[in-house]
Amino acid sequence: MRRILVGAHYGLTDWLVQRLSAVVMAVYTLVLVAVAGYHGGIDYAFWQALFANSAFRIGTFLFGLALFWHAWVGMRDIWMDYVKPTALRLTLELLTILALLGYAGWLIDILWGPR
C-alpha cells in the first residue's frame, strides 16, 4: 500500500501536553505526600489550614487543570482506538468533555466557593 502522510506534527501537542501534565501531577503528588508525612498524618485542622493557604489552593487548581487535560487526551485516545462508529465516538467524546468541564467547575467551587 502506498501512503503519503501529511501533517507530520499531527498529535505533537497532545503528546507534549500528556507528558507535561504528568510531570505537574507527579510533583504535586510527591509534595502533598511529603507535607502530610512531615506533619505526621492529616487531621481536620491541618487539612483546613492547608486549603486556607492561597498558594496551596492555586497549586491544587493547577494540579486539577493538568489532571483534566491529561484525562481528556487519554480518554480520547481510548475512544478513538475502540469505538469505531463515528456518531457514538463523538457522543462519548462530548460526554467526556462535559464531565471534565463539570469537574473543573466543581473543583473551583470546592477551592473558592462558600463553605
Partner 1 sequence: MSTVERPVSKPRPVYLNLTRIRLPLPGIVSILHRISGAGLFLFGLPLLLYAVQTSLVSPKSFDSLRSFLAYPVTKIVLIGLVWAYLHHFCAGLRFLLLDIHQFIQLRPARQSSWVVLIASLALTLLIAVRLW
Q: Which parts of this chain interact with partner 1 (CB under 8 A)?
A: 1-5, 8, 19, 22-23, 26, 29, 44, 47-48, 51, 67, 71, 74-75, 78, 96, 103, 106-107, 109-110, 115
Minimum distance between the CB of residue 45 and partner 1, rounded to whole angstroms? 8
Nearest by Cα to 53 from 25, 20, 31: 31
- Write down the residue that cell numbers 478513538 correspond to: 80
Q: In this complex, which beta carbon is closest to partner 1, that of residue 65 or of residue 75? A: 75
Q: In this complex, which beta carbon is closest to partner 1, that of residue 13 or of residue 47? A: 47
Minimum distance between the CB of residue 31 and partner 1, rounded to whole angstroms? 14
Nearest-angstrom CA–CA distance, 56 and 53:
5
Nearest-angstrom CA–CA distance, 14 and 96:
16
Nearest-angstrom CA–CA distance, 49 and 64:
19
